[in-house]
């Protein structure tokens, strides 16, 4: 595999996890909430993961967990992120796979044409997330698929209401900059869907909620005791309304239309 550094432009897109990459990785993949999120995303990507070899971009792919899933199934994978510390972890995970590349840089610096572009849990860290969606679609080949997930603003409101944080909700849930692991720009699923539906040359293949049950469970012991059944229920109810709208993360799968090519 190879590392690539591109000429830097002023960083306007996203938050970097330099200095806290190990904590970030542990906070995601060392907990039931992170493990479940990853497992559900793998579930929705299963047809591509187990299909013919694809040229895959993991945009803002962090420490490389999803990139590793595709690399070990024989796909040609490029992973990009703005944090050198997270990429160092990703490089270690991907080191045994030959047809992989790790790139340090912004999403808006990327080029190429991919069969599958993955962008999970990135939009909520960006200053202009809807513009980033346009860039991600541009990186697709005609007929290519974008796998997009993001922190759900509506679920964030509901969760804070359940905890009685009424004043915080009334104030518009301002970002607490001191907590670097908390997303600061959660997105409303309907606004993202409206954006996609207004774009020429794309169609929405699927929508789902990620962690529609887990984060609202009163007795957390059920998570460990009944994890497999919880996963099955997340797959069933997360794929249909009204439950999907309350997922802590929202998932959208988009295809670039064959007949229109580049947008």
Q: Check pLDDT > 80 for residue 1.
A: no
Identify how many contiguous H helices and E strands the chain contains and give both numbers.
Answer: 10, 8
On the question of pLDDT at 81 being above 90, the answer is: yes
pLDDT confidence of residue 11: 38
Q: Following DSSP, what letter does each residue of 49-60 receive, concatenated?
A: HTSS--EEEEET
Look at residue 198 and tell me whether its pLDDT is greater than 60: yes
**pLDDT interval class at 253 (50, 70, 90):** very high
**With left for phi above 0 and alpha for psi between -120 and 50, is residue 230 left, alpha or beta?**
alpha
The token pair at 259 is 């007949």
pLDDT digits (tens, 9 = 90+) for 27-51: 667 789 999 999 999 999 999 999 9
Q: How confident is the model at residue 184 (pLDDT cuts 50, 70, 90)?
A: confident
pLDDT in tens, 103-131: 999 999 999 999 999 999 999 999 999 99
Tell me what pLDDT residue 39 has: 97
pLDDT at 236: 98
**Per-residue pLDDT tens for 117-168?**
999 999 999 999 999 999 999 999 999 999 999 999 999 999 999 999 999 9
Residue 10 pLDDT grade (very low, low, confident, very high; cuts 50, 70, 90): very low
CA–CA gap between residue 241 and residue 258 (Å, rounded): 29
Per-residue pLDDT band for 21 (boundaries 50, 70, 90) equals low
pLDDT value of position 96: 93
Q: Tell which residue, 123, 192, 191, 118, has the closest CA to residue 151.
A: 123
Contact (Cβ atoms closer than 8 angstroms) between residue 231 and residue 169: no
Domains of the chain (ranges; CATH) run 2-152+186-256 (3.40.50.150)
Torsion region of 207: left, alpha or beta (phi above 0 gives left; psi -120 to 50 gives alpha):
beta
Q: What residue ranges in 121-163 does DSSP mark as E strands?
A: 140-151
Percent of the chain clearing pLDDT 70 (strictly above): 85
Q: Residue range 218-232: average pLDDT?
A: 93
Q: Global pTM?
A: 0.88
* Integer Cα distance of 213 and 233 in angstroms: 8
What is residue 16's predicted lDDT score, i.e. its pLDDT? 55
Give the Cβ contact number of residue 225 at 10 Å: 10
Confidence at 178, pLDDT banded by 50, 70, 90: very low
Instruction: Mark 158-179 as b/e (b = at least 16 C-beta within 10 Å).
Output: bbeeeeeeeeebeeeeeeeeee
pLDDT for the residue 263: 44
- What is d(CA 122, CA 112) in angstroms, rounded to the nearest whole number? 20
Q: Give the span between the Cα atoms of 142 and 263, in whole angstroms.
A: 10
How high is the pLDDT of residue 15? 56
d(CA 120, CA 28): 12
Name the token pair of 87: 């990429």
Place of tokens 């572009």: 117
- The per-residue pLDDT for 106 is 94
């Amino acid at each position: 595999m190879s590392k690539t550094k591109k000429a830097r432009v002023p960083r306007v897109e996203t938050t970097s996890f330099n200095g806290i990459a190990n904590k970030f990785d542990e906070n995601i993949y060392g907990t039931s909430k992170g493990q479940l999120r990853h497992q559900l995303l793998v579930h929705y990507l299963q047809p591509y993961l187990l299909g013919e070899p694809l040229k895959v971009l993991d945009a803002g792919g962090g420490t490389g967990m999803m990139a590793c899933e595709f690399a070990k199934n024989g796909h040609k994978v490029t992973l990009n992120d703005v944090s050198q510390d997270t990429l160092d972890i990703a490089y270690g995970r991907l080191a045994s796979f030959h047809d992989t590349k790790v790139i340090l840089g912004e999403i808006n610096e990327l080029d190429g044409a991919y069969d599958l572009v993955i962008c999970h849990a990135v939009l909520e860290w960006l200053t202009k997330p809807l513009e980033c969606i346009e860039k991600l679609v541009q990186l697709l080949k005609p007929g290519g698929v974008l796998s997009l997930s993001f922190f759900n603003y509506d679920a964030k409101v509901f969760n804070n209401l359940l905890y009685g944080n009424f004043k915080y909700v009334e104030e518009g849930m301002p970002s607490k900059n001191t907590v670097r692991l908390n997303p600061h720009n959660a997105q409303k699923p309907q606004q993202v869907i409206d954006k996609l539906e207004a774009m020429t040359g794309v169609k929405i293949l699927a929508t789902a909620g990620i962690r529609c049950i887990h984060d609202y469970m009163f007795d957390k012991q059920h998570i460990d005791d009944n994890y497999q059944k919880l996963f099955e229920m997340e797959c069933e109810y997360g794929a249909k309304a009204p439950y999907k709208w309350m997922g802590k993360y929202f998932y959208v799968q988009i295809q670039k239309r064959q007949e229109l090519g580049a947008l």
